[in-house]
Chains A and B, each alone.
Chain A
């Protein structure tokens, strides 16, 4: 149907086909151009915070960053000393986040397999509902929960790596469940039937066909979930506390992580330096915080790159 004006349609002579094909529609062209500009502007506005964030982190963080900064802890560092590093925080972040992934990925993936391949009726609906509720749990509440859980067994004031890992798992499991579930639902039913019709039992079909086919998407989802929790601060402040030295033991005592380190350094603020103190840097705490932030951003970036490489290896073979 030609969308000519209703007013002219009744009286005016019918336009010829030639007219219909060649008459320029100025209004549509204008709208088209305006909308192009609007969406381009929206894109640019969305890029401003991202680009400026990366720029600020880079420009503020790079001058403190050095192999020394990455290789030492904060043990024995005080005041405005031109010393100290984040080795203990990197170790803590990797250990705690890794432990959280070890807990969350099997539980989350199996839950998703249950929901997609087995779940029927009330139980499946209840699981879906609680997974949705868990997605919205504030991270500080997850931290309090993990602290309270460990305090039951180990007494009040307990601080240890696994408690932090449990807190992060509470945040991570729903993300893993959701993303894995989406990926499993994308696997065509025909592939399940093809496998079953070959006399392959259901569990093998799930492991070797369904999970294998969706592996690339699941890996991406898991990495996003890791990226989601690696920057968590509040729950780790509660469960891990704050410490200046290196701790490799997830089951014993306080641990530092990068986000908590950043918060801690920033909250200490400017150092009051006397003019005669030559090695005193007034802004040292801010400098360390920015450098640690840069390291954290780089770690997240590396995880994303790793996820892409792994996902590409698992991706279904392309035709031709």
Chain B
């Protein structure tokens, strides 16, 4: 079940440094939200606060609230491990576990948590997850080969299969196609379009055409100068952002006048 995410007055810190300031936004369920903006504007940092991966970095912390189904993810009684099981993440560089086969990689979320799973359930989960990631046809005959034997684009889809195998409600994607060639990128974009029927998706991208192609809503982040925190400039329907943005900075950025 996909969930809506409500971010209110979020400040993100690395130690004393405020990297992102004052973000409030609503992320709609079963839709694709794209975060765009120049390097260093804090969009990846912001994305990582949505499943508490941010705090893995020493000294990193957050002020403000992120509400999912009425629960503030940063409440004291909320377990970050539980948050990450509900809100999965796909990273910029494909990172399959090198010691595991393709099938084991898909099952990693289950096996690493020592949850018992019958052989037939495991096989079903591997197949449904790989089908969900549009990878099944390519790998069904070599599920026991190492994950690292796949091409970069296939590895990234394997990582997506691994993320959806734990049945999250939200999928966060941090520039999932930036390390891939155009054909693999197309495969990932088609996959995103299918996944949004079941999941809430938030994607960070440097590629504005990609944001325009895959997303329903787009948020533009900007940073005025180095040392200043990044801020959310505006957020609107993707079509509106790319045709009649309300802010000058957004228009400059998407028309390529800076950034």
Please list the residues of chain A having a beta carbon within 8 angstroms of any beta carbon in chain B: 120, 188, 190-201, 204-205, 208-209, 212-213, 314, 316-320
Residue count of chain B within 8 Å CB distance of chain A = 33
User: Do B112 and A200 touch across chains, with their CB atoms under 8 A apart?
Assistant: yes
Q: How many A-B residue pairs have CB under 8 A?
A: 88
B-chain residues with CB within 8 Å of residue A208 when the two chains form the complex: 112
Give the contacting residue for A199; candidates B97, B98, B113, B146; CB below 8 A: B113
B217 within 8 A of partner (CB): no
Instruction: List 5 A-B pairs, minimum CB-CB distance, nearest first.
Output: A199-B85, A317-B146, A316-B98, A197-B89, A198-B109
User: Do B93 and A199 touch across chains, with their CB atoms under 8 A apart?
Assistant: no
B148: nearest chain-A partner, CB-CB: A319
What does DSSP make chain A's interface, helix, strand, loop or mixed?
helix
B227 within 8 A of partner (CB): no
B-chain residues with CB within 8 Å of residue A190 when the two chains form the complex: 91, 93, 95
B101: nearest chain-A partner, CB-CB: A317
Q: How far is the CB of A300 from chain B (nearest CB, A)?
A: 29
Q: How far is the CB of A283 from chain B (nearest CB, A)?
A: 54
In the bound assembly, the distance between CA atoms of A46 and B179 in angstroms comes to 46
A198: nearest chain-B partner, CB-CB: B109
Q: How far is the CB of B256 from chain A (nearest CB, A)?
A: 31
In the bound assembly, the distance between CA atoms of A318 and B149 in angstroms comes to 7
**With A316-B98, A316-B148, A317-B101: A197-B112 Cβ-Cβ less than 8 Å:** no
User: Do A197 and B53 touch across chains, with their CB atoms under 8 A apart?
Assistant: yes
B-chain residues with CB within 8 Å of residue A195 when the two chains form the complex: 97, 108, 112
A-chain residues with CB within 8 Å of residue B243 when the two chains form the complex: none
User: Do A198 and B149 touch across chains, with their CB atoms under 8 A apart?
Assistant: no
User: Do B112 and A193 touch across chains, with their CB atoms under 8 A apart?
Assistant: no
In the bound assembly, the distance between CA atoms of A317 and B142 in angstroms comes to 14
Please list the residues of chain B having a beta carbon within 8 angstroms of any beta carbon in chain A: 51, 53, 56, 58, 81-86, 88-89, 91, 93, 95-101, 108-109, 112-114, 146, 148-149, 159, 162-163, 166
Interface centre among A212, A213, A317 (most CB of B within 10 A): A317
In the bound assembly, the distance between CA atoms of A194 and B147 in angstroms comes to 14
Q: How far is the CB of B34 from chain A (nearest CB, A)?
A: 20
Interface centre among A197, A204, A212 (most CB of B within 10 A): A197
User: Do A197 and B99 touch across chains, with their CB atoms under 8 A apart?
Assistant: no
8 CB-based A-B contacts, threshold 8 Å: A190-B93, A193-B89, A197-B84, A198-B166, A199-B84, A204-B114, A208-B112, A212-B99
In the bound assembly, the distance between CA atoms of A320 and B101 in angstroms comes to 12
User: Do B148 and A317 touch across chains, with their CB atoms under 8 A apart?
Assistant: yes
User: Do A198 and B56 touch across chains, with their CB atoms under 8 A apart?
Assistant: no
A192: nearest chain-B partner, CB-CB: B56
A-chain residues with CB within 8 Å of residue B159 when the two chains form the complex: 194
**With A204-B112, A204-B113: A199-B99 Cβ-Cβ less than 8 Å:** no
A-chain residues with CB within 8 Å of residue B114 when the two chains form the complex: 204
B82: nearest chain-A partner, CB-CB: A199
Q: Apart from A317-B149, A319-B148, what are 10 other A-B pairs with CB-CB below 8 Å?
A: A190-B95, A193-B53, A196-B56, A197-B89, A198-B166, A200-B109, A204-B114, A213-B97, A316-B148, A317-B98
A-chain residues with CB within 8 Å of residue B109 when the two chains form the complex: 198-200
B-chain residues with CB within 8 Å of residue A205 when the two chains form the complex: 112
Q: How far is the CB of A188 from chain B (nearest CB, A)?
A: 7
**With A197-B53, A199-B82, A213-B99: A320-B149 Cβ-Cβ less than 8 Å:** yes
User: Do B112 and A209 touch across chains, with their CB atoms under 8 A apart?
Assistant: yes
B-chain residues with CB within 8 Å of residue A316 when the two chains form the complex: 98-99, 146, 148
Interface centre among A199, A209, A213, A320 (most CB of B within 10 A): A199
**With A190-B95, A191-B95, A212-B99: A196-B146 Cβ-Cβ less than 8 Å:** no
Q: How far is the CB of B171 from chain A (nearest CB, A)?
A: 10
A-chain residues with CB within 8 Å of residue B163 when the two chains form the complex: 197-198
A-chain residues with CB within 8 Å of residue B58 when the two chains form the complex: 120
B-chain residues with CB within 8 Å of residue A320 when the two chains form the complex: 149
User: Do B99 and A198 touch across chains, with their CB atoms under 8 A apart?
Assistant: no
Q: How far is the CB of B14 from chain A (nearest CB, A)?
A: 15
A-chain residues with CB within 8 Å of residue B95 when the two chains form the complex: 188, 190-191, 193-194
A213: nearest chain-B partner, CB-CB: B99
In the bound assembly, the distance between CA atoms of A205 and B88 in angstroms comes to 16
**With A191-B97, A193-B56: A201-B149 Cβ-Cβ less than 8 Å:** no
In the bound assembly, the distance between CA atoms of A209 and B82 in angstroms comes to 19
Q: How far is the CB of A205 from chain B (nearest CB, A)?
A: 7
B-chain residues with CB within 8 Å of residue A188 when the two chains form the complex: 95
